[in-house]
Amino acid sequence: MARAEDDTWDITESVGATALGVAAGRAAETDSDNPLIRDPFAQMFLDVVGDRIPNLYARGEDLPPELVELDPRIGERMAAMRGYIASRTLFFDQFFLSAAKDGVRQSVILAAGLDARAWRLEWPAGSVVYELDQPKVLEFKVATLESHGATALTTHVGVPVDLRHDWPAALQASGFDSALPTAWSAEGLLPYLTAEAQDVLLERIASLSAPGSRVAVEDFTHEFFSAESFARREEQMQRYRAAAAKLGRTDIPESGNLLYEESRTQVVDWLAAHGWEAAGIDARDLMARNDRHVPTDIEDATPQSIFVEGMLPVQSRVTR
């Protein structure tokens, strides 16, 4: 499904389906021998939608021979991606808990997807977590959690809105207070925005941030957005789709068509230019810190990304 300016999606299609793939990675990590993170809700979402391709994360060595024949190292690729998802999840978990420990009680998760942080992290009393995403995605998540008797561990406010639209108005109408320090996150989001929309997103975050606010972003390198990198990833996905078709499966999305192949400003540079103190760590360095490694001779086993944290100094406030 190619992207359009005002496209929408359910949880099993387009960008929504990628949330299921990430949930599958968290479920597999949770079920592993030495998990970095624990997400008891991830498997719930997979069970609701039934047997889908993303569940291959959890199948370990028991991979279909059609896929192994296509790529003898597919098991290593999936292990690397599971380590990436686990490290990414831990990075944002620690970001929110650190901000909360330092007194930040208002958190905003942009493109929340299916990670139920309001249900699984130990938030201090008085914390409020705002989750923004497509209406159908939030509806699916909350309905699934409620049907399983799950209760949020803090105040949770879902804000059903397309992040390409006027989400600041929707957020403020839901009770968000821009006078309070906020912890913001943008995880797995930026490649699904145009370069212009990415800048608008960052400008809106800055305009709503009181001094002492923090932000964590999964950014992507210039190489990730290059035409060559896109072509390699799409060629690989075409092979997987061909193998999946032999298994009677046609539900692997054309991932390249979901992303915007545009050069853009690196988030660390953008934040620094707008008064934030910011630093980033390369994805492979982050994974190595967590004892999760990527084979050096496998190309594109994990995204070429940088995990960024920024803080707005207490004496400052950024305006648009």
Full DSSP string of 241-300: HHHHHHTT------HHHHS-------HHHHHHHTT-EEEEEEHHHHHHHTT----TTSTT
Dihedral sign from CA coordinates of 166, 169, 175, 180: positive
Of the chain, the end-to-end C-alpha distance in Å amounts to 35
Residue 193, burial from CB neighbour count under 10 angstroms (0-12, 13-18, 19+): buried
Of residues 276 and 74, more confidence is placed in: 276
Q: Helix, strand or coil for residue 128?
A: strand
- Whether the pLDDT of residue 294 is over 60: the answer is yes
Tokens representing residue 35 in the block: 């998990």
pLDDT score at 61? 58
The confidence band for 259, taking pLDDT boundaries of 50, 70 and 90, is confident
DSSP annotation of 49 reads H
Rounded CA gap, 171 and 201, in Å? 13
Per DSSP, what are the bridge partners of residue 159? 132
Decide if 272 contacts 278 (C-beta within 8 A).
Answer: yes
Q: Mind listing the pLDDT tens digit for each residue in 229-244?
A: 888 877 777 776 676 6
pLDDT score, position 204:
98
Cα distances from 50 to residues 20, 55, 147, 245, in angstroms, run 11, 9, 16, 18
Half-sphere exposure of 282 (CA within 13 A, CB side): 11
pLDDT score of 258: 75
Average the pLDDT over 166-183 and give the result: 98
Q: How far apart are CA 73 and CA 93, in angstroms?
A: 30
* Number of residues assigned to the chain: 320
| pLDDT of amino acid 196 | 95
pLDDT digits (tens, 9 = 90+) for 14-53: 455 778 889 989 999 999 999 999 999 999 999 998 765 4
> Which pLDDT score, from 0 to 100, does residue 262 have?
87
Rg (CA), the chain: 19
Task: Please say if the pLDDT value at position 255 is more than 70.
Answer: no
State the pLDDT at residue 248. Answer: 64
Q: Could you give the CA distance from residue 129 to residue 299 in angstroms, rounded to a whole number?
A: 37
Q: What is the DSSP letter of 33?
A: S
Query: What is the chain's mean pLDDT, rounded?
Result: 87
Q: Give residue 104's pLDDT band: very low, low, confident or very high (50, 70, 90).
A: very high
Tokens of 97: 């808990």
pLDDT digits (tens, 9 = 90+) for 213-232: 999 999 999 998 888 888 88
Asked whether the predicted pLDDT for residue 177 surpasses 90, the reply is yes
Predicted model pTM: 0.90
What integer pLDDT is reported at residue 250 of this predicted model?
55
310: β partners: 215, 278
pLDDT over 80 at 190, yes or no: yes
Element (H, E) at 9: none
Contacts of 166 by beta carbon, 8 Å cutoff, 6+ apart: none
For the chain, what percent of residues have pLDDT higher than 70? 84
Domain map of the chain by residue range?
Answer: 14-311
Q: What pLDDT was estimated at residue 9?
A: 44
Confidence band of 54 (pLDDT split at 50, 70, 90): very low
Question: Which of 25-39, 56-70, 203-217 has the weakest average pLDDT?
Answer: 56-70
Q: Which helix (H) or strand (E) holds 100?
A: helix 74-101
Q: What percent of the chain has pLDDT over 90?
A: 64
Q: Does domain 14-311 have CATH number 3.40.50.150?
A: yes
